[in-house]
Amino acid sequence: METGQPFVLVDVPAATPPILAVAQGLSTRGKWVLVWTNIPYWCVAIATLNSPAVQSVAPACVARICASVLFHGCILTTLASVSTIWHLGALSPPALYVARRSRAPRVAAAQCQLLECCRGVEKADGEASLVAMLKRLLVSDILCSVLSFAVGLVCFSPVRTIVWLAGPFLVFLVARRAKVRREHETYALLHGLWHVLSAVAIWQIVFTPFAFLTT
C-alpha cells in the first residue's frame, strides 16, 4: 500500500455510474479500510458458531430453530460473506479500470493490478457488464441484511432488535446520503462505521439479555 497516499484519490466525473463512483473516488488505502470493516461481521459469525447458546425469546412455533446456534451462525456467515464479496467487487481493480477508462485510459491501465481481468472487462463491454454484476451483488447484500433483520425480529423480539439497530441504521442512512452527494470520503468513513456498529448491535441482540428489551 502506498505510503502517504490520501484517503480520497480523485474527483469523480459526473458521468460516472454511481455504483462505480466510490471505486474511482477512493485511494487504494481508503478502499482497503472500507473492506476491512467487514471483519467485525466475521468475528460475530465465528463467535456465534462457537457459542453454546443464544438469548432467543422466540414464540413456541419457531423456538427450536431460533435457539439453534448453527442456524444463527450460518445466517451471520452468509451476511459476512456476501458483504465482503460485494465490497471487494465494488472496489476492485476492474471496477476502477472501467470507471477511469473513458477519462484516462493509459492511467487506468497502469493502475489496474489485475490486467487480465481488466482486459476481459474491456472486451465484454466492461461498463455495462460490470454494473450489472455489481447490481446483483448489491441486491444480494441488501437481501442478506433484510434476512438478518427479519431473523432478529422473530427470534429476539422486535423491540430488542430495533432498539439495538436504530443507531447503526441512522449512520447507514447518513452514509447513503453522502454517497448520493458523491462525498466519497465521508461515505467510506460512515459506511465503515455502519459495519462496525451493526456488528456490535448483532452481538448485543444475539447474546445480551436485557429484560426491558425482550418483549
Give residue 75's region: left, alpha or beta (phi > 0; psi -120 to 50).
alpha
Grid cell at residue 80:
459476512
Torsion angle of the four alpha carbons 210, 207, 197, 165, in this order, in degrees rounded to the nearest 10:
-50
What does each of the 215 residues of the chain score in pLDDT, given as a tens digit? 444 455 555 555 566 666 677 777 777 788 888 899 999 999 999 999 999 989 888 888 899 999 999 999 999 999 999 999 988 888 775 555 444 454 444 444 444 443 334 444 444 455 567 778 888 888 999 999 999 999 999 999 999 999 999 999 999 999 999 988 888 888 889 999 999 999 999 999 999 875 554 44
- Which residues make Cβ contacts (< 8 Å) with residue 63, sequence separation at least 6? 56
Q: What is the pTM of this model?
A: 0.78
